[in-house]
């Protein structure tokens, strides 16, 4: 699990081609990132709602008060301009970041080498259909887009190895999954989602490396687990976060990013609150 999934020659060529990716160094871990810090905020609609709740304003104010140069950029990802599906689930990150490396891309989507060449901190997430987790079918397959916990775990393991081994001087922040409310899922799927994101929080995430989480799932399900709290949803059958909730938690994700940048990723609140 700790070793790269790629042949040594491919790993070496990626490092030579993208010096900025930080290949071959020691893990960034809890070391602060200094100077101008470039942050990629990868999202679709749910992340866009939180962004619009006040993330850019937080960084403007923070930089003004603290004299920092934290530059955050919202990026629709995948952007689907070349025909890639509107999907950002564990399979898609595995496919775009692990299955495609170096100069290889799927339908023109940026791969991790290319993103890491331009950004110091990479924030990424899944939209709420990620929580529609089916029962395991007894045939786990890392290259399958079928949504089961077993497939997710294989894909997360490969992503973790890729981020740790090939980009140790970059920092990564993963949102735990966006939840579904009771009107848009069923109890069995909701319970499997809760179990999976507990695994992400308590097993997959480890102290001392360059990978951190923002516990969005815990924020969305507060008082209603394993469902998204309807008070935070756009409608009883629409689990997009509403404007009030988005404005509440936008400072939390921003603070979480600041904590990771400044070396408090393993000691700060994983919700940012």
Task: Tell me the DSSP string of 33-55.
Answer: P-SEEEEEEEESHHHHHHHHTTH
205-258 pLDDT, tens digit each: 999 999 999 999 999 999 999 999 999 999 999 999 999 999 999 999 999 999
pLDDT at 30: 79
Q: Fill in the DSSP letter of residue 209.
A: S
Share of the chain above pLDDT 90, in %: 89
Which residue is associated with the tokens 């409608």?
A: 235
Cis bond before residue 78 (omega within 30° of 0): yes
107 Rama class: left (phi>0) / alpha (psi -120 to 50) / beta: left
For 33-261, which CATH superfamily applies? SGNH hydrolase (3.40.50.1110)
Q: Which residues contact 269 (CB under 8 A, 6 or more apart)?
A: 255, 256, 259
pLDDT at 195: 98
123-178 pLDDT, tens digit each: 999 999 999 999 999 999 999 999 999 999 999 999 999 999 999 999 999 999 99
Range 9-38 average pLDDT: 57
Tell me how far CA of residue 23 lies from CA of 115, 116, 211, in angstroms: 14, 10, 15
Which residue is associated with the tokens 């060529």?
A: 13
Place 22 in a pLDDT band, splitting at 50, 70 and 90: very low
> Which segments of 109-249 are extended strands (E)?
121-124, 171-175, 211-214, 233-235, 238-241
| pLDDT for 81 beyond 50 | yes
Report the SS3 class of residue 104: coil
| pLDDT for 4 beyond 60 | no
Place 27 in a pLDDT band, splitting at 50, 70 and 90: low
pLDDT at 28: 57
38-79 pLDDT, tens digit each: 999 999 999 999 999 999 999 999 999 999 999 999 999 999
| pLDDT for 9 beyond 80 | no
pLDDT at 180: 98
84-105 pLDDT, tens digit each: 999 999 999 999 999 999 999 9
């Amino acid at each position: 699990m700790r070793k790269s999934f790629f042949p040594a020659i491919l790993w070496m060529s990626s490092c030579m081609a993208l010096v900025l990716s930080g290949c071959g160094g020691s893990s960034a871990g809890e070391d602060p990132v200094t100077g101008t810090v470039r942050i990629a905020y990868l999202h679709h609609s749910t992340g866009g709602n939180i962004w619009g709740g006040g993330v850019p304003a937080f960084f403007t104010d923070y930089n003004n008060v603290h004299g920092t140069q934290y530059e955050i950029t919202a990026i629709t990802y995948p952007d689907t301009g070349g025909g890639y599906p509107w999907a950002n689930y564990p399979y898609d990150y595995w496919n775009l970041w692990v299955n495609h490396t170096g100069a290889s891309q799927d339908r023109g989507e940026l791969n991790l080498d290319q993103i890491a060449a331009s950004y110091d901190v990479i924030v990424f997430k899944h939209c709420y259909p990620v929580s529609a987790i089916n029962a395991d079918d007894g045939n786990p397959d890392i290259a399958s887009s079928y949504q089961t916990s077993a497939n997710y775990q294989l894909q997360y393991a490969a992503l973790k190895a890729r981020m740790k081994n090939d980009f140790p001087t970059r920092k990564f922040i993963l949102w735990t999954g966006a939840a579904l409310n009771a009107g848009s899922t069923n109890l069995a799927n909701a319970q499997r989602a809760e179990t999976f994101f507990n695994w992400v929080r308590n097993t997959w995430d480890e102290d001392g490396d360059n990978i951190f989480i923002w516990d969005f799932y815990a924020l969305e399900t507060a008082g209603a687990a394993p469902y998204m709290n309807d008070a935070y949803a756009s409608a009883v059958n629409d689990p997009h976060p509403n404007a009030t909730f988005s404005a509440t938690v936008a400072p939390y994700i921003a603070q979480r990013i600041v904590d990771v940048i400044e070396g408090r990723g393993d000691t700060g609140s994983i919700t940012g609150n």
